[in-house]
Amino acid sequence: MSRRYRDRAHAGAILAEELLALEPGPHPVVCALVRGGVPVAAPVAAALGAPLEPYLVRKLGVPGHEELAMGALAGDGTIVRNADVMARLGLTDGDLARAVQREQARIREQLHTLRGDRPMPALTRRWVVLVDDGLATGATMRAAVAAVRHNDPARVTVAVPVGAPQTCELVAREADELVCPLQPPGFAAVGAWYDRFDQVSDAEVRAILTAAESRGQRPPG
């Protein structure tokens, strides 16, 4: 396996090979964490012959240091707190609640932009593959796993190209399985393991979802 990825599409192609080697689950659906997970998930969904669905989870950033997650909020309202970060920085439940209130509005807006009035598909008794471009603190992915669990899936697989080893251990305990080909001891940051790691726009996400729809991987909105 390459020790780095050229870009998210390259990472998704490698991830797809790993997933194809697994025992398949019933009625697979690939849920891509927006935004960075969508270009990774596109080749995964194509390889599995599964629908590609955008999945909304917002990081709850530390005030003044928003890139550091004190937790995460899923589109269905599920909240996961990063207790270690909150304790280390002396953050309170009030800090978390204010971040939740701020991000709820952004989730509603982004859901409308990407899905319109189309609801999420039923996940009950299905193999749900949650995909992102990497795991740093794991807060957003843990929120996604917890939210998906509410729908009684048959199996939840977290699939990411790269992750911090300790975070991978944590997420692996909460999902049914974790697929992560690259878990470097000197992790540092997700983007450090990609040659190209540009921000992904809503327009790019919509284009990828439209392409998936044209291939029959996504029902029309």
The CATH number of the domain holding residue 142 is: 3.40.50.2020
Give the domain range for residue 148: 8-56+116-214
User: Is residue 82 included in any domain, yes or no?
Assistant: no
* pLDDT tens-digit readout, 106-163: 888 888 888 777 777 889 999 999 999 999 989 889 989 988 998 899 999 999 999 9
For 181, which DSSP code? Answer: S
pTM for the structure as a whole: 0.86
83 neighbors 92 (Cβ within 8 angstroms): no
Provide the domain count of the chain.
1
Taking residue 198's Cβ as centre, other Cβ atoms within 10 Å add up to 12
User: Is residue 106 included in any domain, yes or no?
Assistant: no
Give mean pLDDT, residues 211-219: 71
Flag the least confident range among 1-15, 61-75, 90-104, 146-160: 61-75
User: Is residue 17 included in any domain, yes or no?
Assistant: yes
User: Is residue 38 included in any domain, yes or no?
Assistant: yes
Query: For helices 8-20 and 37-48, what crossing angle results, to 10°?
Result: 40
Extract the tokens encoding 196. Answer: 């190209």
Q: Which residues pair with 158 in a beta bridge?
A: 130, 178
pLDDT reported for residue 216: 64
User: Is residue 178 included in any domain, yes or no?
Assistant: yes
The 3-state DSSP class for residue 206 equals helix
User: Is residue 134 included in any domain, yes or no?
Assistant: yes
User: Is residue 109 included in any domain, yes or no?
Assistant: no
Dihedral angle, C-alpha 138, 28, 156, 134, nearest 10 °: -20
User: Is residue 65 included in any domain, yes or no?
Assistant: no
